């Protein structure tokens, strides 16, 4: 909506009385399935409305555009703005912060990333991945790289509570080959690999793959080379106004996965959590109150 807040549909409505018979016919045709019809070629629009080509051209000028292409361009802008989620719209997040403040810029970017990422995930694949992670008949290996090991660690920390036979492998350490000794056919690897993709991680993935392990990959929009070996891949958008990439979206996916996995065998999870609590009580690690 380049000028003002009026959509083109609004403008057509306002002008409706000033239009001639053929033009009105056209106007209704445009509004009929808005905005799709207006985005096609002029001739098609004319034909659809059963008016002549110049009628379209003239009406577009009456609406204040310099030509049909300009009209289309604004329609596209409108569409773009519309598709972008209402939440991402310029609510300023931190009240009182100038909208150019890092807090706002960054948050906008992350919300945007989340939206794009979630839009590309097939729920069925996600469920399948969760089932694999929950499968206690197989061993589970979690692999992170230089930066992503924090995410891997986070997933490890929680899956460890949920189920036995979980191992955290750091591909940056050169001790990782030891961990692969016990890998059996059908074991599950959750691998994190985002830019800059690490050679170690790829090698590890190849070995795991060669031994018949199943790979679930968390990567970015450009996709780590590991994805060719992976059974299931999830790619997050990670671009933010910073010299580094954002891990927030991937973190969200990981947390969601944890939530889903804990529910698959909730009784078992609950029982394990209670036992863990008991042990915590004995170590007096946590405060009892507040």
Residues in contact with DNA by the rule CB under 7 A: 20-23, 41-44, 50-55, 57-58, 60, 66-69, 289
Residue 119 interacting with a copy of itself (CB under 8 A) = yes
Other CB atoms within 10 A of residue 129 CB: 25
For a copy of itself, the binding residue among 80, 177, 271, 281 (CB under 8 A) is 80
- Contact of residue 53 among a copy of itself, DNA, none (CB under 5-8 Å per partner type): DNA
Residue of 48, 53, 63, 106 interacting with a copy of itself (CB under 8 A): 106
- Torsion, Cα of 35, 37, 43, 49 (10° steps): -110
| CA proximity to 93, closest of 79, 82, 103, 81 | 103
Burial of 61 (0-12, 13-18, 19+ CB in 10 A): middle
Cβ proximity to DNA, 7 vs 52, nearer residue: 52
Q: Which is nearer to DNA, 60 or 109 (CB)?
A: 60
Phi, psi of 34 (to 5 degrees): -90, 140
89: contact with a copy of itself by CB under 8 A: no
The interface region with a copy of itself, picked from 16-24, 55-63, 180-188, 206-214 by CB under 8 A, is: 16-24
| Phi, psi dihedrals of residue 166, rounded to the nearest 5° | -115, 135
Where does this chain touch a copy of itself (CB under 8 A) — which range of 46-54, 132-140, 178-186, 221-229?
A: 221-229
Cβ proximity to a copy of itself: between 184 and 259 the closer is 259
Q: How many residues bind a copy of itself (CB under 8 A)?
A: 97
Query: CB of residue 184 vs a copy of itself: minimum separation in angstroms?
Result: 28
Q: Which of 37, 35, 122, 123 lies closest to 83 in space, CA to CA? A: 35
Yes or no: say if 175 and 188 are a contact pair by the CB < 8 Å rule: no
Site string for a copy of itself, 121-140 (x = CB under 8 A): xxx--x--------------
Q: How far apart are CA 172 and CA 146, in angstroms?
A: 6
1 lies in the binding site for a copy of itself (CB under 8 A): no
| Spatial separation of the C-alpha atoms in residues 54 and 9, rounded to whole Å | 20
């Amino acid at each position: 909506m380049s000028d003002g807040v009026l959509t083109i549909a609004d403008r057509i409505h306002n002008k409706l009385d000033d239009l001639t018979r053929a033009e009105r016919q056209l106007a209704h045709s445009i509004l009929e399935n808005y905005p799709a019809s207006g985005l096609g070629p002029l001739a098609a629009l004319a034909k659809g409305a059963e008016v002549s080509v110049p009628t379209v051209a003239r009406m577009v000028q009456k609406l204040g555009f310099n030509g049909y292409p300009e009209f289309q361009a604004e329609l596209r802008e409108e569409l773009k703005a519309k598709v972008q989620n209402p939440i991402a719209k310029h609510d300023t997040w931190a009240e009182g912060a100038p909208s150019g403040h890092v807090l706002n810029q960054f948050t906008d970017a992350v919300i945007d990333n989340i939206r794009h990422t979630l839009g590309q995930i097939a729920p069925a694949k996600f469920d399948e991945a969760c089932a694999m992670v929950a499968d206690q008949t197989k061993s589970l290996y979690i692999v992170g790289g230089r930066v992503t090991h924090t995410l891997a660690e986070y997933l490890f920390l929680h899956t460890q509570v949920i189920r036995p036979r979980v191992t955290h492998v750091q591909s940056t350490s050169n001790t990782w080959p030891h961990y692969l000794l016990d890998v059996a056919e059908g074991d599950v690897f959750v691998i994190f690999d985002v830019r800059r993709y690490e050679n170690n991680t790829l090698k590890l993935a190849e070995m795991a793959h060669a031994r018949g392990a199943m790979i679930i990959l968390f990567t970015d929009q450009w996709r780590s080379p590991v994805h060719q070996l992976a059974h299931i891949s999830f790619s997050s958008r990670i671009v933010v106004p910073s010299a580094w990439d954002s891990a927030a979206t991937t973190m969200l996916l990981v947390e969601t996965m944890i939530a889903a996995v804990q529910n698959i065998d909730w009784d078992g999870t609950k029982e394990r959590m209670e036992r863990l609590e008991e042990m915590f009580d004995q170590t007096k690690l946590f405060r009892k109150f507040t």
